[in-house]
């Protein structure tokens, strides 16, 4: 059975896909067979779901797209609402079966969550339930912008309450106008009680230099 990580974020648009793809490339360089999974995608652009395509491209073994992405919706809205529009209900057992099939093909499965940690998936379940079902170590991507301190602290509190293994967090600078970035990161380092795995400056591309993530190796290896 493969190992892996569940990548969640403080919100939507904070860089979960960017970080997930960088992880896939890093583990590829280490000689692992890796697959990226986006259980739920909401928002199709130019006929494709960009997050799914990026994860597929960063994976180094082929897998059925229906397993990599069991649920895909056109509208860029909350998954439970997108599912309602499509006349279906998101079933976590379907995602679990897809994950199991992927895990039989790969050494490492990187699962990218949708939206924030507590985003509703159906009438009763949220992203937390998805993470708990998979039981993978969690990496939190913090989108560094105004309001991120509260978002990060609340998200970590929810992850801890779910009794999941938070192996660390990434500061992804997404707002070039944010003031006191260094001070905000230092505040989170002091309060989150989880290691800062990486700090990605605004505009920094991780597609071409996976060496940016070498500082993660020890922490992630210990968490596998």
Alpha-carbon distance 8 to 118, whole Å? 10
User: Which of 3, 16, 38, 218 is labelled catalytic?
Assistant: 38
> Is 123 a residue of the active site?
no
> CB 1: neighbour CB atoms within 10 A?
9
Strands (DSSP E) found in 31-179: 34-37, 40-42, 71-73, 108-112, 138-144, 166-173
Token readout for 210 is 């996976």
**Which residue in the block uniquely carries the two structure tokens 């009438």?**
123
| Closest of 65, 67, 69 to residue 39, by C-alpha | 69
Residues annotated as catalytic (active site), given as ranges = 38
């Amino acid at each position: 059975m493969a190992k892996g990580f569940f990548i969640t974020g403080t919100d939507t648009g904070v860089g979960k896909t960017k970080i997930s793809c960088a992880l896939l490339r890093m583990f590829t360089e280490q000689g692992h067979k890796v697959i990226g999974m986006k259980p739920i995608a909401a928002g199709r652009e130019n006929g494709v779901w960009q997050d799914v395509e990026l994860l597929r491209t960063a994976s180094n073994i082929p897998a059925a797209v229906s397993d990599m992405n069991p649920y895909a919706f056109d509208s860029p809205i909350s998954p439970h609402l997108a599912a309602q529009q499509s006349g279906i209900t998101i079933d976590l057992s379907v995602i679990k079966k897809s994950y199991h099939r992927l895990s039989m093909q790969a050494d490492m499965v990187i699962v990218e969550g949708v939206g924030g940690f507590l985003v509703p998936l159906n009438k009763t379940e949220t992203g937390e339930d998805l993470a708990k079902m998979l039981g993978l170590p969690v990496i939190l991507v913090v989108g560094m912008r105004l309001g991120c301190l509260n978002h990060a602290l609340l998200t970590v509190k929810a992850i801890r309450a779910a009794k999941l293994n938070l192996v660390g967090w990434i500061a992804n600078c997404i707002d070039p106008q944010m003031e006191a970035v260094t001070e905000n990161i230092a505040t989170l380092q002091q309060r989150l009680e989880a290691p800062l795995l990486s700090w990605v400056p605004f505009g920094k591309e991780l597609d071409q230099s996976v060496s940016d993530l070498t500082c993660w190796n020890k922490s992630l290896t210990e968490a596998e």
